[in-house]
Chains A and B, each alone.
Chain A
């Protein structure tokens, strides 16, 4: 029961951060600010969703896989946003 509550709270919070990140993506004016919104909010969102799902993983290996997913997403989004930011800087302000 307590674990269920953890899941519900964490996943909902994660979903909220995703929503916030998406709003930022749509509303902010240029590439760098959009990236700012996306990376911050989405990384937190993914972490919270993964955390919320951990109690439901059922097995140790399942839990480890979830953590791996979280780490890989972090790695990918961190590097990709770096690359996008550099490309944006090199090619001047994009609309």
Chain B
């Protein structure tokens, strides 16, 4: 079993764990955390692909590595935006939950402007 296979299994498991967390965690912050876990699994998958593509004197294919770095930046921005929204939601409503307490129909005051 090669390095790539070990970490491929590890990445797939991290994706699975992240998915599970995203599905069942009731708290938005835990969902954000689970998304980060899921994302890290995806990135390691790119790393495995890069490692398998070692050639031409490179120990690892540089293209997937570059994609991962771009991906990490995007994932961090997403986390920051989500956390900001969540904290503001807490500030405005006093609660931090994604559950729709009321059905869409009875939502009181859709804006019009």
- Contact flag (A, B; Cβ within 8 A): no
Q: Which residues of A contact B (CB under 8 A)?
A: none
Q: Which residues of B contact A (CB under 8 A)?
A: none
